[in-house]
Chains A and B, each alone.
Chain A
């Protein structure tokens, strides 16, 4: 509810307003219950925090810079800051969460790690921390995504992970998530499932949001240094499941004067039938264990989404974001495949930064929202564009973007 005390924390049973919960089969209960009863105690232990902070600093390369993008600011007539998550080890914000979860998995005595991945960023981040800690790593990835994200597949393999293609349904992120959940059902004792976004049954949305909240924790002091104020006027982030948005928004959620802007993938257009804009197209439902907004048919079958960006190609959003949407705490926009491509090329030419296609959706919103001249606007540049070079090359050759 808009009047409730905090947007940050879900209820004990994992509800953000009417969204969240843990709709899981009994076969997952012991695993999820172990996490639910222990995660808060473990991740707030001084010893855990010490190792987490050290790895974020020395291994992942934090704090990531907050960069004042002057040429981009000139173009849009406002003050634009880029939070450079693209400079994290492995190329995106995903490593913040996987470092946290691998440490948690070790505390829980788990020996085997599974993960799902869309663009491959979370898969790479998971394979990386498994190599770091010497744990077995199995990554489920949609067959279609394996084809369009070949460099990340190679990275995961080089890091020692086994990549298993998900061949059901749309063969993308949703199906990889289904397969990972099935694997977890079949391995109830020794396996920890590192979910990569703020989705899934409670406590995942809260746990992942907490691990990603380092983004906005840094923003607070970095903004103070650069602008004299802890709070910006607006924070903009792309949303697939919504982990970089959750991390970028987290410490501003209850600072109601900060405008929070979430950008979903419109694909070929919201009305085109090839879209992933969940808040425009979705209705209330249950996906991957939590109540949220879900793109589905009238009969409750989950529909296959589309986006040029594999990381945003998901038919739901995390329950926190569904709550932010229905309460109006965050404004939700969308950007099409073409708008995202244009924004990526613009950033490359104006600032010398090649963004991930996911992050390019957040940048694209600058064409749609006019900010005041003195506004401080933070955009989470969640990942770098190396993995998307093939798509960018095709775009340069004038080939119609085709995922």
Chain B
């Protein structure tokens, strides 16, 4: 059983998944941040691979990506940083990123190296399900990686079923039709969340986009198995020194619970 599936067997409510950009704020902060998140009590981590043109992301994550790239972050460097991370980190870790850098790396090589490093799954927002099934699913499955699809309030029921069927690990419910970091009004989306819940999907559901504090986190958790926080977390890392990172992360996570 994958680490992600195991997590949801053990914990069905209030699952906290935290996103951060690899190589931000400093190039070698990736592991210290992972460690601090684990120590602070996060349940899962989504590690962003920086890209020059991150279409699904808002300005905060985009500028953290630009900074990480300026720091010299690459996929190759990330795998180097992750070489021995499983000695310390037992949380499920997903890689989130865009197709172009992965195609340059070589899609199969990428899956192989991610799997060897101990990565559990992938979130690739610009890999749509048609192309996934056509060409990429077999490689992702060959290396035993989970793959998480996104659904939005505009996604029709039949398509939600299809995306759920093709996903493994969990289904990522985008809280509103938006890029990351927009202020979502979760109450307005109640019908959508209730629809997802009533569909009895194969996968657990995690809500993301616009989750930023205790109240939005618990609201999201009342509709789903848990929630994903990205932009608000990137904001607290801004200008954090290596020393400050564990403290800031502990305080941030404590405030959510």
Chain A interfacial positions (CB closer than 8 Å to B): 13, 21-27, 29-30, 168-169, 174, 178, 181-182, 185-189, 283-289, 294, 296, 298-302
Docked complex Cα distance between A169 and B62 (Å): 10
Q: Give bound CA distance, A187 to B1, whole Å.
A: 39
CB distance from A377 to the nearest CB of B (A): 37
B152 at the interface (CB under 8 A from A): yes
Q: Is the CB of B131 within 8 A of A27?
A: no
> A181-B55, A185-B179, A299-B74 are known contacts. Are A25 and B150 too (CB-CB below 8 A)?
yes
Q: Is the CB of B101 within 8 A of A169?
A: no
The answer to whether B223 has its CB under 8 Å from any CB of chain A is no
The reply to whether B103 and A285 form a contact with Cβ atoms under 8 Å apart is: yes
Contact A182 to B100, CB < 8 A, known contacts A26-B152, A301-B51: no
Q: Known A299-B101, A301-B69; judge A29-B74 contact (CB<8 A).
A: no
The segment from B37-45, B122-130, B199-207, B228-236 found at the interface with A is B122-130
Chain B min CB distance to A316 (Å): 10
A186 touching B126 by the CB < 8 A rule? no
CB distance from B77 to the nearest CB of A (A): 9
With most chain A CB atoms within 10 A of its CB, the pick from B59, B62, B100 is B100
- Asked whether, in the complex, the Cβ of A188 is within 8 Å of the Cβ of B154, the reply is yes
Q: Would B75 and A299 count as touching, CB distance under 8 A?
A: yes
Residues of A within 8 A of B155 (CB): 26, 29-30
Q: Which residue in chain B gives the minimum CB-CB distance to A32?
A: B128
Which residue in chain A gives the minimum CB-CB distance to B55? A181
* B150 x A26 contact (CB < 8 A): yes
Point out the residues of chain A lying under 8 angstroms from B163, CB to CB: 26
- Alpha-carbon distance between A29 and B163 when the two chains are bound, in angstroms: 12
8 CB-based A-B contacts, threshold 8 Å = A13-B130, A23-B131, A26-B152, A26-B155, A185-B179, A187-B177, A286-B99, A289-B126
Chain A residues with Cβ under 8 A from B59's Cβ? Answer: 168
Q: Does B19 contact A (CB under 8 A)?
A: no
For the complex of A and B, the 4 pairs showing the least CB-CB separation, nearest first, are A300-B101, A300-B104, A25-B125, A188-B177
The residues of A that contact B159 with a CB separation of less than 8 Å are 29
B178 and A302 form a contact (CB under 8 A):
no
Whether a CB of chain A sits under 8 angstroms from the CB of B84 is: no
Q: Who on chain B is nearest to A289 by CB? A: B126
Give per-residue flags for B16-39: 1 if the beta carbon is below 8 A from chain A beta carbons, else 0.
Answer: 000000000000000000000000
A286 to B131, CA, bound (A): 13
- The answer to whether B126 and A169 have CB atoms under 8 Å apart is no
Specify which chain A residues have a CB less than 8 angstroms from the CB of B103 in the assembled complex.
284-286, 300
Question: Which chain B residue shows the least CB distance to A304?
Answer: B52
The residue from B52, B55, B98, B102 contacting A182, defined by CB atoms under 8 A apart = B55
B126 touches A286 (CB 8 A): yes
Q: Which residue of B128, B151, B182 contacts A24 across the interface (Cβ within 8 Å)?
A: B128
A277 to B254, CA, bound (A): 52
Q: How far is the CB of B184 from chain A (nearest CB, A)?
A: 11
Q: Verify B174–A26 contact, CB threshold 8 A.
A: yes
Residues of chain A contacted by B99 (CB below 8 angstroms): 23, 286
Contacts A30-B154, A284-B103: A25 and B56 contacting too (C-beta < 8 A)? yes
Chain A residues, CB < 8 A from B98: 286
CA distance A289 to B126 in the complex (A): 8
Q: In this complex, what residue of A is CB-closest to B182?
A: A186
**Nearest-neighbor residue (CB-CB) of B105 within chain A:** A300
Q: Which residues of chain B in 113-148 are interfacial with respect to chain A, using CB atoms and an 8 Å cutoff?
A: 125-128, 130-131
> A23's contact among B62, B127, B152, B177, by CB below 8 Å, is which?
B127
Question: Known contacts A185-B177, A301-B69; is A25 also within 8 Å of B104 by CB?
Answer: no
| B contact residues around A27 at 8 Å (CB) | 56, 150, 152, 154, 174, 177-179
The closest CB in chain A to the CB of B163 belongs to: A26
Q: A30-B155, A300-B103, A301-B69 in contact; A25/B55 too (CB < 8 A)? A: yes
CA A299 to CA B103, docked complex, whole Å: 9
Please state if A294 and B100 are interface contacts (CB–CB under 8 Å).
yes
Q: Which of B69, B100, B178 contacts A287 (CB 8 A)?
A: B100
Which residues from A are CB-within-8-Å of B128?
22-24, 26, 29
Is B165 an interface position by the 8 A CB rule? no
- In angstroms, Cα B74 to Cα A29, docked, is 29
| Cβ-defined contact, A23 with B126, below 8 A | yes
Contact B102 A300 (CB under 8 A): yes
Query: In the complex, what distance in Å separates the CA atom of A161 from the CA atom of B225?
Result: 44
Asked whether, in the complex, the Cβ of B100 is within 8 Å of the Cβ of A285, the reply is yes
Interface check B149, CB cutoff 8 A: yes
Q: How far is the CA of A22 from the CA of B125 in the complex (A)?
A: 12
Determine whether B53 belongs to the interface, using a CB cutoff of 8 Å to chain A: yes
Interface centre among B52, B76, B98, B178 (most CB of A within 10 A): B52
Closest to A170 in B: B52
Q: Which residues of A contact B55 (CB under 8 A)?
A: 25, 178, 181-182, 185, 288
Q: Which B38-73 residues sit within 8 Å CB-CB of chain A?
A: 51-53, 55-56, 58-59, 62-63, 66, 69
Chain B 180-199: CB-based contact to A (< 8 A → 1; otherwise 0): 00100000000000000000
B170 CB, min distance to chain A CBs, angstroms:
15
How far is it, in angstroms, between the C-alpha of A227 and the C-alpha of B202 when the chains are bound?
67
- Give A26 to B163 CA distance when docked, in angstroms: 10
A178 → B minimal CB distance (Å): 6
A27-B177, A181-B55, A301-B69 are known; give 6 further A-B pairs, CB within 8 A: A22-B128, A25-B125, A29-B159, A168-B59, A182-B179, A299-B101
